[in-house]
């Protein structure tokens, strides 16, 4: 039986640095836990444009469709700001999401106790926070037609169309309910059914899926603007939030900052099951390419490491090993080991990107 396969796309900026630490951890699992992976690497984003004149080569897209999971670092940077929109680095990531049909974006917002003081909210509001936002990723206003900038009379008009089919809502709702069954068994669906017809359809379809297939899961509905307010007021009231592409984009970024650092947050984008039963999947940190610190050893690799933990859990059915890795990260933070983005308190040990990776490896060794 062949090993599960991973395609690594380090990307731009700090992407190669943080991904190097993930490679060390992947090797550790092969050496110490009998979890060997067939790992290949390719280019995406600006790096792919520099080499091929496109942010994602067709051959790379083919590889991404064939492997069990894709791990991506980050894309973009000021070097590429003046490129035509069609070849900007971000188009490579969007192509991966669209052609792999990665319709469910999982964005956890978890606040480790050791980092509760880094949040802009009071410690008792965020300490122990562990919620998941499930964002529909391949439809909605970012993809609906008609769209564009048009001449209308003597002025221009910008048009974007919010569009959802029942089947698109059904499948992301099922992802949220299935996820809730593995967590706190509670889902809050967010839309704007008070002012948007697409929101009315969203609410009706989510309720129907719940009533027919997931009556054991607690379901509530909330307008997305009220949801944003509640995330800032008392985020621990939520377990799983499911929402559309636009609101998911906004709400997940708001939730991200509850934890104090974008350098801490992973994400998973999941699609339909493949022949082997595993979902097509892409895992990536929430943070960007941070070109201002690239090559300086200041980047925090934890978000990328935790993205691999999500891969262990959702692509490779290794929940216990995902827990092991997450607990190793938690121990390192509790011991006061910090990269540059997490400094500012007394008694901490500042470390470089590679030293943080080494500290996580040491914590993994201690877990054996």
**For residues 157 and 165, what is the distance between their CA atoms, to the nearest angstrom?**
26
Identify which of 363, 361, 362, 339 has the alpha carbon closest to the alpha carbon of residue 350.
339
d(CA 90, CA 142): 14
- From the list 225, 323, 335, 358, the catalytic residue is 225
Choosing from 50, 101, 130, 253, the catalytic residue is: 253
Please answer whether residues 248 and 286 qualify as being in contact, where contact means their C-beta atoms are separated by less than 8 angstroms.
no
Give the number of other CB atoms < 10 A from CB of residue 159.
Answer: 12
Question: Is 192 noted as a catalytic residue in this protein?
Answer: yes
Q: At what angle do helices 89-99 and 58-66 cross, to 10 degrees?
A: 40
- 3-class DSSP state of 129: coil
> Which residue out of 192, 280, 298, 331 is catalytically annotated?
192
59 part of the active site? no
Q: Of 63, 142, 186, 335, which residue is the catalytic one?
A: 142
- Would you say 116 and 330 are in contact if contact means Cβ atoms under 8 Å apart? no
253 is a catalytic site residue: yes
Q: Which has the closest alpha carbon to 54: 94, 25, 16, 24? A: 94
Residue of 80, 249, 280, 341 marked active site: 249
CA angle 256, 257, 262 (to 5 degrees): 70
Known catalytic residues are: 142, 192, 225, 249, 253
């Amino acid at each position: 039986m062949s090993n599960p396969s991973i395609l690594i796309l380090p990307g731009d900026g700090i992407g190669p640095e943080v991904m190097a630490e993930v490679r060390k951890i992947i090797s550790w699992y092969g050496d110490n836990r009998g979890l060997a992976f067939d790992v290949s690497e390719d280019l995406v984003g600006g790096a792919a444009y520099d080499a091929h004149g496109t942010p994602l080569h067709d051959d790379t897209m083919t590889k991404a469709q064939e492997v069990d999971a894709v791990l991506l670092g980050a894309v973009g940077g000021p070097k590429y700001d003046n490129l035509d929109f069609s070849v900007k680095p971000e188009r490579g990531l969007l192509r991966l999401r669209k052609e792999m049909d990665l319709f469910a974006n999982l964005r956890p917002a978890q606040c480790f106790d050791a980092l509760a003081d880094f949040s802009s909210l009071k410690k008792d509001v965020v300490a122990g926070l562990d919620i998941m936002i499930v964002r529909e990723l391949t439809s909605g206003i970012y993809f609906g037609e008609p769209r564009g900038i048009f001449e209308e009379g003597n002025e221009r008009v910008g048009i974007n169309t919010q569009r959802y089919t029942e089947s698109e809502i059904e499948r992301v709702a099922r992802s949220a309910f299935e996820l809730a069954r593995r967590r706190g068994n509670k889902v809050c669906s967010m839309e704007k059914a008070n002012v948007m017809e697409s929101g009315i359809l969203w609410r009706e379809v989510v309720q129907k899926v719940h009533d027919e297939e997931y009556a054991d899961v607690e379901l509530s509905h909330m307008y997305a603007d009220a949801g944003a307010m509640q995330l800032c007021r008392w985020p621990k009231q939520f377990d799983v939030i499911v929402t559309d592409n636009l609101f998911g984009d906004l709400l997940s970024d708001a939730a991200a900052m509850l934890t104090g650092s974008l350098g801490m947050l992973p994400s998973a984008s999941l699609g339909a099951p493949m022949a082997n039963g595993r979902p097509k999947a892409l895992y990536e940190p929430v943070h960007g390419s941070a070109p201002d610190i690239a090559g300086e050893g200041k980047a925090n690799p934890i978000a990328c490491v935790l993205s691999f933990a999500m891969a262990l859990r959702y692509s490779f059915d290794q929940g216990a090993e995902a827990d092991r890795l997450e607990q190793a990260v938690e121990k390192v933070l509790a011991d006061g080991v910090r990269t540059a983005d997490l400094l500012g308190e007394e008694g901490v040990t500042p470390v470089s990107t590679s030293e943080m990776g080494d500290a996580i490896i040491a914590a993994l060794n201690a877990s054996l």
